[in-house]
């Protein structure tokens, strides 16, 4: 890789040991992908919590922090694995909670802002068309590339920290024009009514086409989708297909026309998605016989509009016996939802709201499931019903209003 004078000085340790370690790591990643140079970034989004970092990751973070590593660009953090408030059902480990607090302390010392959110693109920072960033959560990455026209790869683990410390990242993948062209054509004939429908569409396209460098181009969207719709579509494509970008003709900024989206490339294939295809996604999930079940609105965290909608749907209703209901959002949205009365409405109905976490990354989730006797997990998030499966929930995707109905009636519809 070509190094500038500044990058060479980083590699030589002249900018400190933490920066040297970070750039050395980035060089190896860049070499794997054949990157020829680094590209400067303006923003980083860190992914790191004790559930996934473990003691080894914590030790690495201590080293970076003790070596005076400082974020060189504005930097936010992804959802955490710990809810620090009292919630009967969770009972997270005290020792691990303290480690999570230590992670947050180090991150603050390194000048990152612990926003604890996987919806930074809705609440924290919206990079502009062509702006290079380094974001460490798949849902954030696909939203940045697709909806905002910014440029980032998946930057997991050490990678997002390294980018923040060096203010750069290797120029490969979605930083380069040639990888941002559409690769296949999706003709959407289905009428999209609910965020869950958008997630179902992501599953239909992502699951059989698992490829980071595939870029679907959606055609035929007849109503302008909302940010929350595109959030769920992207999160689902990233989850099922490991995809990092899509185009939507007439909607996303690099796809004002189909020709612009494909940039002269002939699509590899054409896929048509009808109402029947979307309905088939829902009907493929089967309930197991169970006394206790859980409804979860999470993955990604809820926006203020999603909180408002849920508050309206739950208003005056009660969560049924044998059902447990959880919502996750970030601190910023929670504060606004508190001010606006949505929190009170939801809590009065028996809904538990977790702040700064995402449900599927909760620490000791398998044990939490066992202790509470939960069998079926019902959600309007296609991503969540996919990502949580290592913990052996029986997952069910349903539309938002159906989820509320299930939660309040106890009937598994």
Give contact residues for another protein (rule: CB under 8 A): 25, 28-29, 31-34, 47-48, 52-57, 60, 78, 136-138, 153-160, 172-173, 210-213, 238-240, 242, 244, 360-361, 366, 386-387, 389-392, 394
Q: Cα–Cα–Cα angle for 213, 218, 222, nearest 5°? A: 160
Minimum Å gap between C-beta 350 and another protein is: 29
Q: Report the alpha-carbon distance of residue 217 to residue 259 in Å, rounded.
A: 10
Strands in 199-350 per DSSP E: 216-219, 247-248, 270-273, 292-297, 323-329
Minimum Å gap between C-beta 30 and another protein is: 10
Please say whether the beta carbons of 412 and 261 come within 8 A: no
Tokens of 39: 């590209």
Q: Which is nearer to another protein, 333 or 365 (CB)?
A: 365
Q: Which is nearer to another protein, 140 or 330 (CB)?
A: 140
Minimum Å gap between C-beta 131 and another protein is: 19
Minimum Å gap between C-beta 50 and another protein is: 10
3 state SS for 320-378: CCCEEEEEEECHHHHHHHHHCCHHHHHHHCCEEEEECECHHHCCCHHHHHHHHCEEEEE
Q: Report the alpha-carbon distance of residue 136 to residue 164 in Å, rounded.
A: 11
Q: Which is nearer to another protein, 76 or 239 (CB)?
A: 239
Minimum Å gap between C-beta 93 and another protein is: 13
Sorted by sequence, the CB contacts under 8 Å of residue 105 that are 6+ apart come out as none
- What is the torsional sign of CA 31, 35, 37, 42? negative
Please say whether the beta carbons of 184 and 270 come within 8 A: yes
Q: Report the alpha-carbon distance of residue 104 to residue 108 in Å, rounded.
A: 6
Q: Which is nearer to another protein, 44 or 325 (CB)?
A: 44
Q: Which is nearer to another protein, 268 or 344 (CB)?
A: 268
- Numbers of helices and strands, H then E, in the chain: 17, 14
Minimum Å gap between C-beta 8 and another protein is: 21
Q: Which is nearer to another protein, 166 or 402 (CB)?
A: 166
Minimum Å gap between C-beta 242 and another protein is: 5
Q: Rg of the Cα trace of the chain?
A: 21
Helix-helix angle 400-409:304-314, to 10 degrees = 40
Q: Which is nearer to another protein, 50 or 332 (CB)?
A: 50
Q: Which is nearer to another protein, 127 or 173 (CB)?
A: 173
Q: Which is nearer to another protein, 238 or 403 (CB)?
A: 238
Q: Which of 40, 119, 109 is nearest to 79 (CA)?
A: 119
Query: Across the beta sheet with 323-329, what order do the strands follow?
Result: 351-355, 323-329, 292-297, 374-379, 394-397
Work out the number of other CB atoms within 10 angstroms of the CB of residue 159: 22
Q: Report the alpha-carbon distance of residue 302 to residue 329 in Å, rounded.
A: 5
Minimum Å gap between C-beta 41 and another protein is: 15
Residue 102's alpha-carbon distances to 35, 61, 76, 342, 364, in angstroms, are 35, 10, 17, 31, 18
Q: Which is nearer to another protein, 14 or 392 (CB)?
A: 392
Tokens of 331: 């601190």
Minimum Å gap between C-beta 49 and another protein is: 9
Minimum Å gap between C-beta 52 and another protein is: 5
């Amino acid at each position: 890789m070509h190094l500038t004078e500044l990058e060479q000085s980083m590699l030589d340790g002249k900018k400190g040991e933490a920066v040297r370690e970070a750039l050395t790591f980035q060089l190896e990643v860049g070499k794997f992908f054949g990157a020829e140079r680094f590209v400067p970034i303006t923003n980083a989004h860190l992914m790191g919590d004790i559930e996934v970092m473990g003691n080894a990751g914590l030790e690495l973070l201590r080293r970076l922090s003790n070596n005076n590593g400082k974020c060189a660009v504005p930097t936010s953090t992804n959802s955490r694995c710990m809810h620090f408030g009292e919630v009967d059902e969770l009972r997270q480990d005290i020792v691990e909670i303290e480690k999570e607090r230590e992670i947050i302390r180090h991150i603050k010392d390194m000048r990152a802002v612990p926003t604890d959110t996987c919806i930074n693109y809705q609440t924290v920072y919206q990079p502009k068309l062509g702006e290079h960033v380094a974001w460490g959560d798949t849902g954030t990455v696909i939203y940045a590339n697709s909806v905002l026209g910014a440029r980032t790869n998946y930057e997991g683990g050490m990678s997002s920290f390294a980018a923040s410390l060096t203010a750069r990242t290797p120029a490969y993948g979605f930083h380069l024009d040639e990888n941002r062209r559409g690769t296949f054509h999706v003709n959407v004939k289905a009428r999209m009514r609910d965020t869950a429908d958008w997630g179902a569409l992501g599953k239909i396209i992502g699951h059989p086409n698992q490829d980071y460098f595939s870029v679907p181009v959606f055609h035929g969207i007849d109503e302008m989708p909302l940010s929350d719709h595109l959030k769920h579509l992207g999160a689902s494509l990233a989850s099922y297909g490991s995809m990092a970008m899509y185009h939507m003709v007439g909607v996303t900024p690099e796809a004002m026309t189909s020709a612009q989206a494909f940039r002269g490339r002939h699509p590899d294939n054409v896929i048509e998605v009808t109402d029947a295809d979307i309905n088939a996604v829902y009907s493929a999930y089967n309930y197991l016989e169970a006394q206790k079940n859980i409804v979860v609105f999470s993955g990604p965290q809820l926006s203020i509009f999603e909180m408002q909608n849920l508050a309206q749907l739950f208003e005056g209703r009660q969560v049924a016996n044998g059902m447990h209901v959880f919502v996750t959002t970030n601190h910023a949205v929670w504060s606004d939802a508190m001010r606006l009365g949505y929190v009170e409405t939801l809590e009065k109905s028996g809904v538990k709201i977790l702040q700064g976490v995402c449900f599927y990354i909760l620490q000791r989730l398998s044990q939490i499931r066992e202790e509470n006797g939960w069998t079926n997990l019902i959600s309007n998030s296609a991503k969540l019903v996919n990502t949580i499966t290592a913990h052996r929930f029986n997952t069910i995707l349903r539309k938002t209003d159906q989820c509320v109905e299930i939660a309040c009636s106890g009937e598994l519809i």
